[in-house]
Structure 1
Amino acid sequence: MSTLVKTHFANPSYLNGFFGKDLFNELAAPAFSGSVPAVNVVESTEGFRIEVAAPGLQKSDFKLNLEKNQLTISAQKEQKEEEKNEKYTRREFKYASFQRTFTLPNSIDGDKIEATYNEGVLSIALPKREEAKEKPARAIEVA
């Protein structure tokens, strides 16, 4: 079974958790409602699932990148509001973005990673390689 480690820069006491170094862009984080979206990591016999709570975004706002066992999840949303009347024009631009990077264990099959976005939750399936899956116990006959 793989041991996963998660690190929060804001609170270094959380060194034991999941998925290697959980790096995120501190500069981009405040633009996304003041924080980085909440993340759940679920392990099963078949693999892992990362769930990112990101309501108000569209699936086209997300970008996922896998490079050297590092999965980077980022999103950027731009909103423009414009109001015109005879005396003035008001334009407001709002930007929201975040980025999180997870170091994946070697047991993950990077070629089979899939992502879906439904009802404000980005769900990323990280299947384990066949050789990394836990095998059921079996009796061995002595010859």
Structure 2
Amino acid sequence: MSLIKRNDMLFPSLMNEIFKPDWFGGMENFKTFPAVNIKENEKDFELALSVPGRSKEDFNIEIDDNILAVSAEVGSRKEDVKESYTRKEFGYASFKRSFALPESVDVEKIDASYENGILKFHLPKREEALPKPKRVLELS
């Protein structure tokens, strides 16, 4: 790793490291972990993953024992190389994210959609977990 001297302190040059061809250990081992937003509303949760450049068919979504698991694999590990590339970064990529669902989620009513690179989940709460209206008691 090259170092840059700055104000009598040494800092690693990240730019040199980033542009090394093997920075990620090769595309065969490259895994991405999509960013996620989770929002709780009164009646549900909203979960959104940023996964651009995929198609609906790329995703594998499973719910087992109150664990929501989302994974995807894109590309091929084996390909016939007929051209000589100076640098080739397209290739195989995968990820897997798992989320422990709260007991308040009605697992049977979960739905999902994928649009504009965002994988969205609607996680409705069980009826008994929804807030109850305020009740006023009259004294007897």
- Normalising by structure 2, report the TM-score: 0.68
Shift of 1:142: 2.3
1:38-49 counterparts in 2 under 5 A? 38-49=35-46
- Number of matched residues? 107
More strand by share: 1
The equivalent position to 2:122 in structure 1, one of 106, 110, 125, is: 125
**Which of 58, 69, 72 is 1:72 aligned to?**
69
- Pick aligned residue for 1:58 from 55, 61, 71: 55
Query: 2:57, 2:102 → 1: CA distance?
Result: 27
Take 1:139 and 1:121, find their aligned partners in 2: how far apart are those partners?
Answer: 44
Residues 75-132 of structure 1 show CA distances to partners (whole Å, capped at 9, x for unaligned) of 111168767xxxxx23987111100111111111000010000000000111100000
User: What is aligned with 1:36?
Assistant: 33
RMSD: 2.3
Q: Residue 31 of structure 1 contacts residue 98 of structure 1 at CA under 8 Å; is this kept in 2?
A: no
- Cα displacement string for residues 26-70 of structure 1 (whole angstroms, at most 9, x for unaligned residues): xxxx624xx311000011011101100000011111111000011
Unaligned stretches of 5+ in structure 2? Answer: 1-28
Identity of aligned residues (%): 42
What is the one-letter code of the residue matched to 2:53? G
> Separation in 1 of the partners of 2:80 and 2:44?
46
| 2:95 aligned residue | 98
How many angstroms apart in 1 are the aligned matches of 2:47 and 2:74?
21
Runs (5+) with no aligned partner, structure 1: 1-29, 84-88
Aligned to 1:111: 108
- The aligned residue for residue 17 of structure 1 is none
Q: Higher Cα Rg: structure 1 or 2?
A: 2
CA contact (8 A) 1:78 1:95 kept: yes
